[in-house]
Structure 1
Amino acid sequence: MTTQVLPPTTLALPALRPARGRPRTRGQGTPQKECRSSPPVAARIHRLTRSQVADRLQELGDLYAEASGGDPWAWNQARGAFLGHLAADARRPGFSLLIAETTALSGYAYGFPAGGSGPWWAGFDGHVRGGLLRRAAAERLFVVSGIVVPPRVRREYRDHVWNLARRLQRRLLADHGAALGVALVDVRDPRTAETLRSWGWRYAGDDSLQAVSPGPFRVLALAPGT
């Protein structure tokens, strides 16, 4: 049996660009109102099975395009690249995707556990050492591979526990009993790193979780409950 070796996955956040003209929305009819970033009760978070992810793939891609600005670039190039990223991660062992929804999909986050060996970790161990490697060997490390939320969630109430992105990432780690969440961000994408830090993430080199430098990625870590 041949094992497919997938490369390290960088975290996917909507690639925000200034919208040109009127943003496109899902389907026809009245454009949807942007989801609020501060839902004390509103959005219900639950997990999708792999088959449900496949059934709702186009809807997931639509929300990504909307959150990216809604212009033609977002609906074509960015959306297609994102769906490829999501499909690759969905094949990984232990993959999990959580959605938040009220009457419509309002956000989602996904990832997978990382062990001390295997096709994914074999592509990642060149970028970290120390504490992260020990947690991976104990199978207590969870890779947060994508967080898709409306732009307002990235701008407002980012340090509040009920911020939708924080709710999603916290639930992902809790569901898997992870000791630590980890994400890779391309060094050419400081905006994503800044957004993650506003949601409680920190660079893995801030303490004993030493990151290898220089390299193509920034390694960020997230403590459970953040």
Structure 2
Amino acid sequence: MTARSGQGQPYKPRGGEPSDADVDAVRLRQVNRWQAQGVSGGLADLYVDSRETSPREAYRRPSRRHFLNRLTADIRRPGFAMVIAETDHLVGCAFGFPVRSDGYWWLGFDGALPHSIKQLTESGGVFAITDILVRPHPQDQDVARRLQERLLTDHQASLGTTLVDRADRPTLTALRSWGWLDVGEIWRPISAMLLRVLVLPVGERTAARLEGLAPDAWTRWPG
């Protein structure tokens, strides 16, 4: 299915139509906030296509409006960034924003926050990925990994973080298979939801800092 832009025009990759030889090759590119707004309709189609649920879960079918409202709010955040994956149409995207060094992102964390995560936050090395979307594709796992890695490395982040509804088992399973680590739960009063907190270390050095944490390596925020 061809994704559509917010203006009702067919989505087209930059540089025109690809040749038959590379139509299946997935390419990544970073887009700015204005470009993201320009393809918001196509992104909403991608959201619905990538999060289809079974008929038994019709009450949880994805809402385009909910996604567009959330995307608009994220686009307005300082440091917003997005990477899209495309062939002759939109295949996937990942977007988010830098986590503030004051630790606001972690407010409501249940229990103690790992001290290493607190240090990475204070140094400005944490980036929140609010969505990774991939339309069903033979290389969907590889596309998802490439998207998250590109978004984090482009911003020289040491750690990615994301929040997931704890009842959303498919998303949690997918993220864990892509290397994300489950570190606890966080309460968001605005949405009245208890969410799972996952982090993704970038590079062996950061991964080593998160391994085998002793009980005294965990601290409450603020410390």
Fold similarity call, TM over 0.5? yes
CA contact (8 A) 1:25 1:66 kept: no
State the number of aligned residues: 176
Q: Please, which of 134, 148, 167 is the counterpart of residue 119 of structure 2? A: 134
Identical aligned pairs, as a percentage?
37
Using the alignment, how far apart are the partners of 2:52 and 2:62 within structure 1? 13
Q: Indicate the residue corresponding to 1:58 in structure 2.
A: 41
Q: Indicate the residue corresponding to 2:29 in structure 1.
A: 46
Using the alignment, how far apart are the partners of 1:25 and 1:103 within structure 2? 9
Q: Indicate the residue corresponding to 1:33 in structure 2.
A: none
1:174 to 2:153 alignment: yes
Using the alignment, how far apart are the partners of 1:79 and 1:178 within structure 2? 30
Amino acid at match of 1:218: R
Q: Please, which of 122, 137, 152 is the counterpart of residue 104 of structure 2? A: 122
Using the alignment, how far apart are the partners of 1:196 and 1:142 within structure 2? 16
CA contact (8 A) 1:142 1:180 kept: yes
Q: Please, which of 217, 221, 224 is the counterpart of residue 195 of structure 2? A: 217
SS at match of 2:91: strand
Which TM-score applies when normalising by structure 1?
0.67
Amino acid at match of 1:64: Y
Amino acid at match of 1:67: S
Structure 1 window deviating more from structure 2 (141-150 vs 77-86): it is 77-86
For structure 2, list consecutive stretches of 5 or more residues without a partner in the other structure.
Answer: 5-21, 188-192, 205-223
CA contact (8 A) 1:48 1:97 kept: yes
Following superposition, the deviation at residue 61 of structure 1 comes to 0.7
CA shift digits 1:37-58 (9 cap, x unpaired): xx9x811111111111111111
Tell me which structure has the larger Cα radius of gyration: 2
Using the alignment, how far apart are the partners of 1:115 and 1:169 within structure 2? 19
Using the alignment, how far apart are the partners of 1:52 and 1:166 within structure 2? 22
Runs of 4 or more, structure 1, over 4 Å off, are 24-27, 212-215
Using the alignment, how far apart are the partners of 2:159 and 2:76 within structure 1? 22
Following superposition, the deviation at residue 146 of structure 1 comes to 0.5
Q: Please, which of 78, 87, 92 is the counterpart of residue 107 of structure 1? A: 92
Following superposition, the deviation at residue 213 of structure 1 comes to 7.4
CA contact (8 A) 2:186 2:197 kept: no
CA shift digits 1:165-189 (9 cap, x unpaired): 0000000110011111111112222
Amino acid at match of 1:114: V
CA shift digits 1:56-93 (9 cap, x unpaired): 1111111112223399x79x961111111111111111
Which TM-score applies when normalising by structure 2?
0.68
CA contact (8 A) 2:48 2:62 kept: no
Q: Indicate the residue corresponding to 1:34 in structure 2.
A: none
Following superposition, the deviation at residue 150 of structure 1 comes to 1.6
Higher relative contact order (CA 8 A, sep 6+): 1
For structure 1, list consecutive stretches of 5 or more residues without a partner in the other structure.
Answer: 1-23, 28-38, 205-210
CA contact (8 A) 2:50 2:135 kept: yes
CA contact (8 A) 1:96 1:112 kept: yes
Using the alignment, how far apart are the partners of 1:65 and 1:157 within structure 2? 15
Using the alignment, how far apart are the partners of 1:135 and 1:124 within structure 2? 12
Q: Indicate the residue corresponding to 1:98 in structure 2.
A: 83
Structure 1 or 2: larger strand share?
2
Amino acid at match of 2:181: R
CA shift digits 1:105-130 (9 cap, x unpaired): 1110001111222xxx4253331622
